[in-house]
Amino acid sequence: MEVNKLILGDNLEILKSIESDTIDLIYLDPPFFSNRNYEVIWGDDGEVRSFQDRWSGGMSHYIDWLNERVEQMCRILKPTGSIFLHCDWHANANIRVEILDKIFGSNNFRNEIIWCYTGPSSPGMKQFPKKSDTVYWYSKSSNWIFNQIRVPYKDGKVHTGGFTEKDGSRLNPDRYDKGKPIENYWIDIAVAVRSSNERIGYPTQKPEKLLQRIIECASNEGDTVLDPFVGGGTTVAVADRLNRKWIGIDQSVQAVKVTELRLHKLNDGNLFGSPFTVQLHKYDYDTLRYGDAFEFESWIVQQFGGTSNTKQRGDFGLDGKMPDNTPIQVKRSDGIGRNVIDNFLSAVKRADKKLYDKNIEDKKPIGYIIAFSFGRGAVEEVARLKLKENIIIELVTVDKIVPIAKKPTITVAINELSRDEKGVCEIEFTATGQSESGIEFYSWDFEHDTEKGFRASVIIDKLGKQTAQFKAGMHVIAVKVVDNDGMESVEIIKLKVNGKIERT
């Protein structure tokens, strides 16, 4: 199982693809049962679809929707694993009785954690303001991981639990001088306020201290943590910092891409930061078309259902074979011509004449050619062979095997707004992205270092417009555009600020 991975997609289908008994800890903060439009945070197509799916049938439908996902989470947890489900008053009773008790068993209920926080309340309310969430903790079995968490006593003194020196052997200072053991009501963790350095613009973002406490108490270094509703990425960011392996899933393009930016920023300057991968709905055309040729050939053959040829010599130019040994050839090119068909036909005959004859007799393809596109000559020759000689060659374009998207384009205009007596300029940047799927958001790196890569100063910018001040000298700015498929492009701007602004 590949870990340290962000996955864009429906978490139910992705959970089904994960092997049983492989995850140590699951934290999920699913959308609350509030049926309010503010639940749609990112606003992209994937999140909107998910929101509509949850609300087609009221509470019973919501419970069914969540239940089938929790069933898969139970399956993939290790016997020593735990699940922490974050919810609020709208559905916490239903979730415990109708989902968690039934799937995990009431005997595996460990704690109902109450996270209390403060915040603005509406004056004149005829009830107490609701300022707490519930986190249900269930283990998969009676043998679960638990590392006790302690916090300092408020007075900072060493406590002995009420024992005195007269108690003699009963006195165990070591039991108490490490701090007060955490109980199941948590009042010492504040919400992630807007002024906090960890805020990324995600309205329901949970504080890192909350996730740190959960991850530290229920897992060990090297364990695998899963968040199937990754949202703003707090779980995977904290898991990465605490030397856990992790998997994050979300149906929103923006959630995945914002989390990716957050992880890059977290690992900035950290030589021991864990590498990670991002799996999107579609593959980048440029990466497939112009990357390593051998890697592409091997990968696309496997995606097609075949076995790649690792010899690279004495293979008659064939790159793989199907389970029945029918040859596959890969051409990492566009507009494949007739000459490729002629050469392939000859190679297939020489490679296995007996199989070649049998496939013709059975009216099956004698081989498959995979390419990005085929020219008219190739298409016409394949049609002629089938009609005149009963020879079937299947021409398969890459986009029929895997979904492909092209990166968005981006242009950036700059405009000097003002300049003070010290020569400090205020500059307005306007980015314009173009994509067939539509633009999701922009991110900005105002102190770009090409060696470190893109490190966002502004993570989410929906409009593509920013202003910043610059002293005299050279400055490098990078802007990233992300489209609705999760594809991205970066424009790097080199500015020389002196008597005037020059774009170099």
CATH number for the domain spanning 358: value is: 3.40.1350
Same domain? For 241 and 221 the reply is yes
Q: Which of 171, 147, 272, 160 is nearest to 219 (CA)?
A: 147
Would you say residue 244 lies in a domain?
A: yes
- For 389, residues 6+ apart whose C-beta sits below 8 A from its C-beta are none
Same domain? For 494 and 417 the reply is yes
- CA dist 380 to 332, 347, 375, Å? 20, 20, 9
Per-residue tokens: 179: 């701090």
Would you say residue 479 lies in a domain?
A: yes
- For 481, residues 6+ apart whose C-beta sits below 8 A from its C-beta are 408, 410, 431, 433, 435, 439, 441, 442, 464, 488, 489, 490, 491
Question: What confidence score (pLDDT) does residue 169 get?
Answer: 47
pLDDT tens-place values along the chain, 504 residues long: 789 999 999 999 999 999 999 999 999 999 877 655 445 555 666 666 555 555 556 888 899 999 999 999 999 999 999 999 999 998 999 999 999 999 999 999 999 999 998 877 777 888 898 899 999 999 999 999 999 998 887 765 544 444 444 446 444 555 555 688 999 999 999 887 655 667 776 667 899 999 999 999 999 999 999 999 999 899 999 999 999 999 999 999 989 999 999 998 887 655 456 789 999 888 889 989 998 888 899 999 999 999 998 765 556 789 999 999 999 999 999 999 999 999 999 999 999 999 999 999 999 999 999 999 999 999 999 999 999 999 999 999 999 999 899 999 999 999 999 988 888 999 999 999 999 999 999 999 999 998 888 999 999 899 999 999 999 999 999 999 999 999 999 999 999 998 778 887
Same domain? For 12 and 81 the reply is yes
CA distance 491 to 293: 27
- The position carrying tokens 């199941």 is 184
Would you say residue 160 lies in a domain?
A: no
Q: What letter represents residue 9's amino acid?
A: G
Between the two ends of the chain, the Cα-to-Cα distance in Å is: 46
CATH number for the domain spanning 439: value is: 2.60.40.10
Same domain? For 351 and 228 the reply is no
pTM over 0.75: yes
CA distance 202 to 200: 6
Burial letters 327-362, b for 16+ CB under 10 A, else e: bbbbbbeeebebebbeebbebbeebbeebbeebeee
Question: What confidence score (pLDDT) does residue 53 get?
Answer: 54
Would you say residue 168 lies in a domain?
A: no
Strands (E), 146-244: 150-151, 180-181, 185-186, 224-227
CA distance 245 to 223: 6
Choosing from 369, 400, 431, the residue where a domain stops is 400
Would you say residue 354 lies in a domain?
A: yes
Same domain? For 141 and 263 the reply is yes
Q: Supply the range of the domain harboring residue 69.
A: 5-145+184-279
Q: Calculate the CA 78 to chain-centre distance.
A: 22
Choosing from 279, 312, 347, the residue where a domain stops is 279
Per-residue tokens: 175: 């039991």
CA distance 298 to 370: 12
- CA dist 242 to 6, 214, 223, 285, 399, Å? 17, 11, 10, 35, 39
Same domain? For 413 and 391 the reply is no
CA distance 75 to 120: 40
Same domain? For 395 and 456 the reply is no
The count of C-alpha atoms lying within 13 angstroms of the C-alpha of 223, restricted to the half-sphere facing its C-beta, is 23
CATH number for the domain spanning 112: value is: 3.40.50.150
Helix axes 45-54, 253-266, angle to 10 degrees: 120
CA distance 13 to 4: 19
Same domain? For 468 and 495 the reply is yes
Would you say residue 164 lies in a domain?
A: no
Choosing from 348, 376, 400, the residue where a domain stops is 400
Same domain? For 392 and 425 the reply is no
Q: Are 63 and 98 in contact (CB under 8 A)?
A: yes
CA distance 350 to 356: 9
Same domain? For 312 and 414 the reply is no
Question: C-alpha angle 480/486/492, rounded to 5°?
Answer: 15
Q: What letter represents residue 21's amino acid?
A: D
Q: What are phi and psi of 139, to 5 degrees?
A: -100, 165
Would you say residue 113 lies in a domain?
A: yes
Same domain? For 339 and 438 the reply is no
Question: What confidence score (pLDDT) does residue 158 get?
Answer: 47
Q: Into how many domains does the chain fold?
A: 3
* Helix and strand numbers, DSSP H then E, in the chain: 14, 26
Expressed in percent and rounded to 5, the helix, strand and coil fractions of the chain are 30, 30, 40
Per-residue tokens: 83: 């699940």
- For 168, residues 6+ apart whose C-beta sits below 8 A from its C-beta are none
Same domain? For 207 and 269 the reply is yes
Would you say residue 367 lies in a domain?
A: yes
